[in-house]
Structure 1
Amino acid sequence: MCAYVMVAEDDEKQAELIRRSLLSEGHTATVVHDGGAALAAARERRPDLVVLDLMLPVIDGFGVCRALRRDDDIPVLMLTARSTEEDVLLGLELGADDYMTKPYSPRELMARVRTVLRRSGRQTSGHRDDPVVRAAGIAVDPVRHEVVCDGSPVDCTPAEYEILLAMAAEPDRVFSRQQLLRRTRGIDRASTERAVDVHIMNLRKKTEADPRRPVRLLTVFGVGYKLSGYGAGGGPG
């Protein structure tokens, strides 16, 4: 069983690097870019761990950690460029379980994540044996970079793969086109929100029995798209 990790990091490139590293470890992850969004997301769905940058807009990391500790006992791994002794001590006094300073290696960060989860009792010993993300009859393997739908391999472009991985990691979450577009940054810098519609259309052709009446990749009109956890079991089109 994997852990659900929330990454609160205002640097989008850093946040995406952390998210991908977590997925490769078999965890699910969501990313927010300011302190207010972090608290709202934590209240909506309680994470097993928060990877928390201190230099967040709206509410800084210290304020987020203070609020999380007041409301619940959610493990916190602080991540920041600030490395003075006062900052470290304040973070730990507020209840942070660990503290890493930038720059850092993703490998070291994942080792710290495993340690914090193990100490908190939120990590099962076998979760790394199966890093595959599954939802709605679709399995996305972030290690082998493979997609299987209803037992059959699916040939995806890099951008399609990243979009499907993000949606499978959080089934039933509605993603805006802009959020999905950010998943493809670095793959196709010329992509636009319209390109997301094309990627979704192509994914439906590859994963839906009837792409014109999808039961997996659903449109949420006026907002974006979601991968329905109901999926192949039947559901709204």
Structure 2
Amino acid sequence: MKKVLLIEDDLDIAELERDYLQLNGYHTDIVQEGGAGLKLATSGRYDIVVVDLMLPGVGGYDIIREIRKNQEIPVIVVSAKNEDIDKIRGLDIGADDYLTKPFSPAEFVARIKSHLKRYERLKGNAPGQEVILNKGLEINTASHQVLVNGKEVQLTTKEYEILVFLASHPNIVFTKERLLDAVWGNEYYGDTATIAVHIHKIRKKIEADPVEPVYIETIWGTGYRFLP
């Protein structure tokens, strides 16, 4: 049974989320305080973490940063903060998704299922070994390992998926909408700003000079392509 951690100080919302998740077969724990939530979130006991940003004690942004130091599990932000800057900041520090309150419980569960399914597919070992090589960049799709000039770089699940998708289709221009569909699927209801945020983060990790990228090129007004 998959384990979900809800870090949410509003008990009514947390219990509603828990009830729907349990109906769908997920073991779910609730923590209302940030410090306790951080301890559990970094314990390695959970398959996915759902975190509010406004918490007593340790804030949601800090929890996400700490998770990302050692774990690649999906992290979903659930927050009443609906400004683009809040969404971009959450995604920039490592969240995989951002859901604004109020929201549909059915949509909430759909996103949980989607992220868990994709994470399981990515971390599982595929038969054989496929390696994508390009100008010092090495992507091993069997081990989910990315190296630049022999040095391993750590990507989040969504960063990895975007990179693999683009690298698997070199010299083809993809719109932000197409990338959203390819990586997030039909379950994602957000805007395309998340793609720009993730591309920015990928470049910071794999490009020697993110301003002059040699791997992922921006096609202004259209989208992105992976340079062969």
After TM superposition, the score normalised by the length of structure 2 is 0.51
Percent of pairs with identical residues: 42
| 2:58 matches 1:94 | no
What is the Cα deviation at residue 43 of structure 1?
3.6
Equivalent residue of 1:57, what SS? coil
Distance in 2 (CA, whole Å) between partners of 1:112 and 1:45 is: 21
Equivalent residue of 1:77, what SS? strand
Give the match for residue 37 of structure 2.
Answer: 38
Q: How does 1:106-121 map to 2 (within 5 A)?
A: 106-121=105-120
Question: For the Cα contact (< 8 Å) 1:10–1:33, is it kept in 2?
Answer: yes
Equivalent residue of 2:35, what SS? helix
**Matched positions, count:** 122
What is the Cα deviation at residue 119 of structure 1?
1.4
Amino acid at match of 1:101: T
What is the Cα deviation at residue 122 of structure 1?
7.2
What is the Cα deviation at residue 102 of structure 1?
0.4
Once superposed, what is the RMSD of the aligned Cα atoms?
Answer: 1.6
| 2:84 matches 1:85 | yes
Distance in 2 (CA, whole Å) between partners of 1:44 and 1:118 is: 21
Question: For the Cα contact (< 8 Å) 1:34–1:57, is it kept in 2?
Answer: yes
After TM superposition, the score normalised by the length of structure 1 is 0.49
Q: How does 1:1-237 map to 2 (within 5 A)?
A: 2-121=1-120
1:1-35 C-alpha deviation (Å, 9 max, x unpaired):
x3100000000111111111110010101100121
Distance in 1 (CA, whole Å) between partners of 2:121 and 2:33 is: 25
Which segments of 5 or more consecutive residues in structure 2 lack a partner in the other structure?
Answer: 123-228
Distance in 2 (CA, whole Å) between partners of 1:72 and 1:122 is: 16
1:46-92 C-alpha deviation (Å, 9 max, x unpaired):
21000111111111111100110013222101000001111000111
